[in-house]
Amino acid sequence: KISAPSLVIIPPNAVHKTEGGSFERHTVNISVNYMTDYEKSVLDGKSLQIIKLKPNEAKNFTTVLEQIYSVKQEDKHYDQKAREVFSYIVFLISLAQGEKQIPASSSKKAIPPTLLKILDYLNTNFKEKITLDELSNVFFMAKPTLIYNFKKYVGKTPIEFLLSVRITHAKRLLVSTEKSVSEIAEICGFSSANYFGLILKKKENLSPLGYRKLQREKV
């Protein structure tokens, strides 16, 4: 069981889910192509551990995350600033001590190769209009089987997973850019700004502009 404040490093292709809890959760997705060999070794060494943070460590991580949110993508030095912030995050992780290894039975399942391909497809093409019929045809898998495998290994249906990917990207754009709600909805593959607003309201109990305002007030 994970309690706040804690940190967990999830390696690529490790399907996972979290449930419940009234605590605030921050998710940072980093491509391995973005990392140095040293950074990869640090994260590999800490992966799939529950790192229970001390109050001062939690404060340091919160401060760094706020710095990430404050960097705008339009900033001409965005890449350099993001690079420096990430390097510092890895440094903080290297100092933190893992408290508990996540059991292999719950963290790593023998995920079918086809399912991994579908997950990658959804993560890459989330901006496009994607239906269950399309996934079934592209990956030669019957819809009932597709839904069953997703629920078994991912904990949600393919469309629910797709929505979670879209919402994650949309939330980042709300905080880090000045794009309108309509622009963000279109960029992230939502059929309309209203539908985007309904999904975000359901997940965060906030409107898109309300979410933007709240997150920026934290910085």
Q: Where are the domains of the chain?
A: 6-104, 109-219
Judge whether 90 and 42 are in contact, CB under 8 Å: yes
* pLDDT tens-digit series, residues 29-58: 777 777 777 777 777 777 777 778 788 888
| 49-52 sheet: strands from edge to edge | 6-8, 49-52, 100-101
Give, in words, the CATH class of 109-219. Answer: mainly alpha
Q: Is 204 strand, coil or helix?
A: helix
Hey, what are 156's tokens? 């949600």
- How many CA atoms are closer than 13 Å to the CA of 148, on its beta-carbon side? 6
What is the average pLDDT value for the chain, to the nearest integer? 80
Helix (H, G, I), strand (E, B), or coil: what is residue 101? strand
The pTM of this model reads: 0.56
- Dig out the tokens for 91 from the structure: 């440094």
Note whether 190 and 150 are within 8 A (CB): no
Element (H, E) at 49: strand 49-52
Q: What is the pLDDT of residues 161-180, one digit of tens each?
A: 899 889 888 988 898 889 99
pLDDT exceeds 70 at position 105: no
Residue type present at position 134: E
Look up residue 154 and give its two tokens: 């991912």
